[in-house]
A and B are shown apart, each in its own frame.
Chain A
Amino acid sequence: MSTGNTPPPGPADADPGKADLDAALPLVYDELRALAQQYLRRERPDHTLQPTALVNEAYMRLTSQRQVDWGNRAQFFGIAAQMMRRILVNHAEARNADKRGGQLTHVTLDEAVSWSGARDLDLLELDEALARLADLDPRQARVVELRFFAGLSIEDTATVMSLSPATIKREWTVAKAWLRRELTRG
């Protein structure tokens, strides 16, 4: 993996049940990756396609297996967001390799959907910028992970981070501006 600066999964705080969770992380990762791949290949015609739903579904499937104490949903979402980031970044890298025969030119996410109004966004550049943001302001980087990679709403992000929605909104505003500036500086 060329970026190498995606943080490793795992909660930073000591929580009851953390040991369980750590042991089970590979399981979560596999589950999420399988779901994401189905999702990205559109193999799931019968289900909601929101990324939130995807993480939620992974959670429900894993809890229904009852093998591990997964802690609460907020904890799970927090970890899943980091994993989603890694999965999607890996995916984007793999695609670049496929498309350009391994050259370093990045494919933009929406090169085919210019009508959608979204601006060009290079996921790998974003991932690198986000790692820099994490050095400067870890909390903001986390908000971006939860909002952009796990697709959580402001309110859900607030729940996961145990902060008020107003705080999240503020951090999100600053983080977006900061990342935007990083990415346009070239």
Chain B
Amino acid sequence: MTSTSWEREKALFLDALAQPADTREQWVFTHTPDEEALREAVLSLLTAHDDADEFLETPAASLMSDGLTDPASDVLTVQRTGPYRLLREIGRGGMGTVYLATRDDGEYRHQVAIKLVKRGMDTDVILARFRHERQILAGLDHPNIARLLDGGTTDTGLPYFVMEYVAGCSVREYAELHGLTIDQRLTLFHTICGAVDHAHRNLVVHRDLKSGNILVTTDGTPKLLDFGIAKLLTPGVDEGVTASSTLMALTPEYASPEQLRGERVTTATDVYSLGVLLYELLAGQRPFPSTGRRVEDLAQLVRDTDPPRPSDAARASGHRDAPQLRGDLDTIVMMAMHKDVARRYASVAQLSEDIARYQQGLAVRAHGDSFGYRATKFVRRHRPILAVATLLFVALVGGLAASLWQANRADIERARAERRFAEVRSLATGFLFDVHDAIRTLPGATPARAMLVQRGLLALDGLAREAQGDTALQRDLAIAYQRIGDVQGNSYGANLGDTDAALVSYRKAVELLESLGAARATNPATRQALVESYRGLAAMLNITGELPEAVQYLEHALALQRPLVAADPSPARRQLLANLLQELGDVRGGAGVSNVGDTKGAMAAYGEALAIRETLLRERPTDIDVRAGLATLQLVQGSLAITLNDSKGAGTVRRGVAMLETIVAEHPDDAVRRNELLSGYARLRVPLVNAGDYAAAITIDRKVLGAMQGMANDDPQNTLLQRNLSVSYNNLARDLRANGQATQALPQHRSALVIAERLWHADTSSMEHLQDVAFTEDVFAEALADAQVWPEALAMYARAIASKQRLKRAEPANPWHADDLGFLYAGLGAALVATNALPASSSAYDKAVPLAESAVTRQEGAPKARGVLALVYAGVARLHLARASCGEAMTWHAKAERHWSELATMQALTAADIATRADVARAMSQCKGP
């Protein structure tokens, strides 16, 4: 079997599974009309699936140990235990196995769980532990703790006990599966606290609280299970568990720091684990995920570091609840998980009360660590670095220090404060500038960069409040804001996709610098900082769709940068000047990006940038930044040339791609350049598509998609990569569709849409993301129409139109949205003709025609706009054909033909245009009869 046919078989199988069971077969028939072999394959997979419920669900080793050990004696004895009949194994613990069983004496047939000590394990220690668990369970009677029902000894003398059988899934799964709101999650958590509190009141510490040990039944009741390593707090009772074996049984992600240190365990341990559970329920991830970590590293991390706040963790992973977590919920979780037992909630009851207070809108008891406390911790953690920093500092300000010796006591206090101030400042700026820059291009470094910058900024923010009027510090602070803006949202590099936050940071930077008079400052570094801040601000405004403002800030930046270059034409300054010009070109009229529709202005800016970059390359032919700068400029300039029907465009893009290929081969770790190269490949597909060489385009698409998946996996929090991944799915899908494989395009579009929507929901201020959603909906709708999946196609067109209208309202200066709407209404009109909804189609075309006509006027007859207009006219012709009014149809067809033939003389007909033209001509032949 070839891999493509397997991909289809797989996709059809999964899609079929999503249908109701009784309609699957019919569904498969509908989707494989002429492909008997494929249909048979999918149907046989479905049959196998129905037949495979328990298949492979028990791990191999478990199956083997059951099957290969002494079958005769063991199995027979455990088939029946007392009045219970064992059905199947449902779990294994350290001492025994848990079976699902029924008690079928008389009319009652309810299911229970039986825990049984296994044969050969009935050593004194195990038996003691087993009895211990039974004793603990017997002492607990609570609706949210799995109940002990019965106990006894089997015929062969092994102890067993019978518990309530809980059919359900783990609490986290339950919350995610049912999409519980934060409030519902809190209520569920509150109930769980009640069960743990009950255990504590009965002097039982669970010691292994985690999502997997709390099952939720289908009616939403949580049940606490597995008291296997629980501890009875009664003095004198030793449960006979050695410290080391308990440690082995722990789940490090949930274990408290004192547990990992092997210290005495109290109820505070359960408070900590409940904190971890709450963290997981709210943030959708664990505070210390084990991903990519060694066990001992994880343990050390739990012992020595503070996890990110739940809201930060949630935000970094694009969780939509993040804003709601900030504040009290963060504080509650962090207090429950405090490393210092004394700073935790004193009891589960207190934690649970705070949850209730939060839900009622009352002030919570939890309080965050004071700045002073955090600073102390910070200093303690970084003592060795701090020692070095202190030495450096003393060397630098020796004069000041000397004079302080003679000062009075108050001055000594102040000096101490000042010294600490300087230490923190040097640490903070060290984080911000040195470490950050060092890891900037590493794949997967985005979260680390964010943490560095945030910590550094936190320190500087605090310092700024204490030191008003210190201009050098204010400048450092402004630069810090500018850097954090880059990490938060600058789409020219890897970023966290938080446009709003980035916008705030850049604005703070600009305000600070402008208030310092940076534009007239004698220190070029200060002016440079203002240039960079304007540039960042423009990038964010570009994303939020405030395009004229973005152009304006870029022009401010250019106005400052040009004299800087004139005064000192250093390569770095010229490089920045070229960057600004290139970005100005993008906003003015760049291909495939939001712009104000000024393509001539764009070409002019690109041209000036190109001259600078080419000179730079001649001077420094080995400098990677210079080479990459020219290469990316060639990509954007070439692409714009291609859309302007300039035959040199494709060659320019190819030169850029070739240069990037060399760079990436030399620097395989440079994620930024790798991403640029992939975008270059994607740009190469445009001329191929225009020429109708879809197979070649698909080859490129698959290459880019594969590489992009790898990169996005390596750095999942990098929004830019996620975006590009979505674009890559779309590109492949579009070319598959153009190649006549519309059905195969659908899952690709679906993947693209899922990503685009996730990004948009995570950052609804980003018009760039909304644009991606709208675009994906648009091309998805077209593919659905091609595949003739009409109801979905109509719905998708409606969604695309709604998104576009929203964009048009948000970005009134972007003229392309109106043009796109014309195209979308035409698509909707065509889909309505196909479903025979002719009146609706007619009103869709009523909207499409004027929009497409004004697009041609506005774009001064650009070939692409005329191609769309011809398509719209041809669509109206088809509508009239469907109404059997040949006269009207011929009028509209003639209008379409006029544009097509003019495009043909300009040699600007795309392959898609040619296909549509021929199609319509065929359809029109029914009007040519006598």
Binding site for B on A (CB under 8 A): 36, 39-42, 45-52, 54, 56-57, 59-60, 63-64, 70, 72-74, 84-85, 88, 91-92, 95, 107-113, 115-119, 121, 123, 136-137, 144, 147-151, 159, 162-163, 170, 173-174, 176-181, 184
Contact = CB atoms under 8 A, between A and B. Distances in A.
Given A57-B248, A173-B14, A184-B51, A84 B71 contact: no
Contacts of A112: 66-67, 71-72, 75
Interface of B: 1, 3, 6, 10, 13-14, 17, 44-49, 51-52, 54-56, 58-69, 71-72, 75, 79, 86-89, 92-94, 118, 120-121, 123, 125-126, 245, 248-249, 290-296, 713-714
A63 B296 contact: yes
Contacts, number: 177
**Interface of chain B, helix or strand or loop or mixed?**
helix
B123 A147 contact: no
A163 B59 contact: no
**Interface of chain A, helix or strand or loop or mixed?**
helix
26 contacts: A41-B69, A42-B120, A45-B126, A46-B94, A47-B245, A49-B92, A50-B92, A51-B59, A54-B61, A63-B296, A72-B292, A72-B294, A73-B293, A73-B294, A84-B60, A109-B68, A112-B66, A112-B67, A113-B66, A121-B63, A137-B10, A149-B60, A177-B52, A178-B45, A180-B55, A184-B51
A123 B51 CA distance: 18
Contacts of A111: 67, 71
A176 B89 CA distance: 20
Contact of A49 (B65, B75, B87): B65
A116 B74 CA distance: 13
Residue of A45, A57, A111 with highest tally of chain B CB at under 10 A: A45
B66 A110 contact: yes
Contacts of B3: 136-137
Contacts of B86: 115
Given A70-B294, A115-B86, A181 B59 contact: no
Contacts of B44: 181
A84 to B, nearest CB: 7
Contact of B64 (A56, A59, A60, A123): A123
Contacts of A39: 61, 65
B55 A119 contact: yes
A95 B92 CA distance: 25
A174 B713 CA distance: 22
Given A118-B54, A181-B48, A36 B291 contact: no
B46 to A, nearest CB: 7
Contacts of A173: 14, 17, 49
A151 B62 contact: yes
Nearest to B52: A180
Nearest to B72: A112
B210 to A, nearest CB: 12
Given A46-B125, A174-B10, A181-B45, A116 B292 contact: no
Given A45-B121, A51-B62, A137-B6, A63 B92 contact: no
Contacts of A54: 61
Contacts of B63: 109-110, 118, 121
Contacts of A119: 54-55
Contact of B56 (A56, A60, A73, A176): A176
A176 B45 CA distance: 9
Contact of A116 (B66, B68, B290, B294): B66
A48 B118 CA distance: 12
A115 B13 CA distance: 32
A48 B62 contact: no
A47 B75 CA distance: 21
B13 A177 contact: yes
Nearest to B126: A45
Nearest to B716: A162
A91 B60 CA distance: 11
Contacts of B291: 74, 159
A70 B60 CA distance: 25
Contacts of B59: 50-52, 147-151
B120 A177 contact: no
B248 A40 contact: no
A95 B88 CA distance: 25
Nearest to B714: A162
